[in-house]
Amino acid sequence: MTRYAVVTVPVADLRRRPVEAEPLNIHDDLEESQVLFHESLIVREETARWYRVEAPEQPRFAGPEGWQGYPGWVRKKDAAEMENPVPHDGVVKSAFALVRPKPVDAGPPLFPVSLGTRLSIKGEAKGFFEIGLEGEKTGWVAKKEIARKPEALPRAGLSGDLVRAARLFLGAAYLWGGRSMPLPWSRGPVMGVDCSGLTNLVFRACHMDIPRDAHDQWAKAAAIAPEELGPGDLIFLSREGQADAINHVMLSLGSDRFIEAQQTGDVVRIRSFRERFGLDLEGLGQAAFTVQKRKLCFGRITP
């Protein structure tokens, strides 16, 4: 029988091995990803202090086995076992939201949650949604911070929503394996985003699950011509000398600008093609979209 768990803290690290994460914002090769409050997990095995899990809301292509949830280890104190995956019908659309004990703005919050956090809405009152917490407990989040899940995702307007969500990350720290908005009043793990963690959360804030890694996002995207590139489309970059091995992704703002989380020590920022690659889009076309033996390509993911 399948065992499930749910994340009970604002952000938890998903580790390659069951060892604690580095305490500083550095490149930690054991950091696979991060999981957010209320995110469902499949439990595969356990030790005294850790669960080995898959995160099904972060798809990953596993070769002959097909698409699976992103694998890794989560501390037991950051999750609770459940009989079934937890339902959700809302998502945090602002940079962060505060979960409060009552539907009022006054007083200390229970905890903050990151953009992209999915929630179960139980009721509403006075400009707040009541949301489910661990066990039978509930909390309250301001309605203005939440987007309710629609019955069907509209294609029109999606690009604008993606860009708005992406802009909320401007200035956030790059973190290898990061998939969270830096949160105030949080004593949890180091927070931030890597390139594909950024795009994954941007789409998640618009009610869409896309793969966790850049190469898998490229595999899921429909290829588009450079002249079709528009707001919300994805720009992919390959490894040096390996045109079919994508290891970086950026989100287009339209024209010649995009948002990206580039590398450790940097922050999420807006760049132009000329600033980043030394050539504008037309010049890159003349160079067959190859820069320093790395290939650029373009894709679009729609509902």
Q: Lowest mean pLDDT of 10-19, 154-163, 246-255, name the range.
A: 154-163
Residue written as tokens 């390996």? Answer: 242
Task: Give me the pLDDT at residue 222, please.
Answer: 97
Task: Give me the pLDDT at residue 186, please.
Answer: 75
Q: Convert the pLDDT of each residue in 266-286 to its tens digit.
A: 999 999 999 999 999 999 999
pLDDT band, very low/low/confident/very high, at 243 (cuts 50, 70, 90): very high
CATH topology identical between 3-82 and 90-148: yes
Question: Taking all residues of the chain, what is their mean pLDDT, rounded to a whole number?
Answer: 95
Average pLDDT over residues 76-86: 95
Instruction: Write down the domain spans for the chain.
Output: 3-82, 90-148, 158-300
Fold of the domain spanning 158-300? endopeptidase fold (from Nostoc punctiforme) (3.90.1720)
Task: Give me the pLDDT at residue 303, please.
Answer: 87
Q: Convert the pLDDT of each residue in 185-241 to its tens digit.
A: 777 899 999 999 999 999 999 999 999 999 999 999 999 999 999 999 999 999 999
Q: How far apart are CA 164 and CA 157, in angstroms?
A: 11
Task: Give me the pLDDT at residue 22, please.
Answer: 86
Q: How far apart are CA 79 and CA 75, in angstroms?
A: 7
Global pTM value: 0.96
Name the CATH superfamily, with its identifier, for domain 90-148.
Answer: SH3 Domains (2.30.30.40)
Q: Convert the pLDDT of each residue in 15-65 to its tens digit.
A: 999 999 988 888 999 999 999 999 999 999 999 999 999 999 999 999 898
Q: Convert the pLDDT of each residue in 99-115 to its tens digit.
A: 999 999 988 999 999 99
- Res 260 pLDDT > 90: yes
Task: Give me the pLDDT at residue 151, please.
Answer: 81
Q: Which residues does residue 297 pair with via DSSP β-bridges, in sequence order?
A: 236
Q: Convert the pLDDT of each residue in 127-162 to its tens digit.
A: 999 999 988 899 999 999 999 998 877 767 789 999
Fold of the domain spanning 3-82? SH3 type barrels. (2.30.30)
Task: Give me the pLDDT at residue 134, please.
Answer: 87
Residue 156 CB partners (closer than 8 Å, separation 6+) = none
- State the amino acid at position 143 in one-letter form: K
Task: Give me the pLDDT at residue 251, please.
Answer: 98
Average pLDDT over residues 285-298: 96
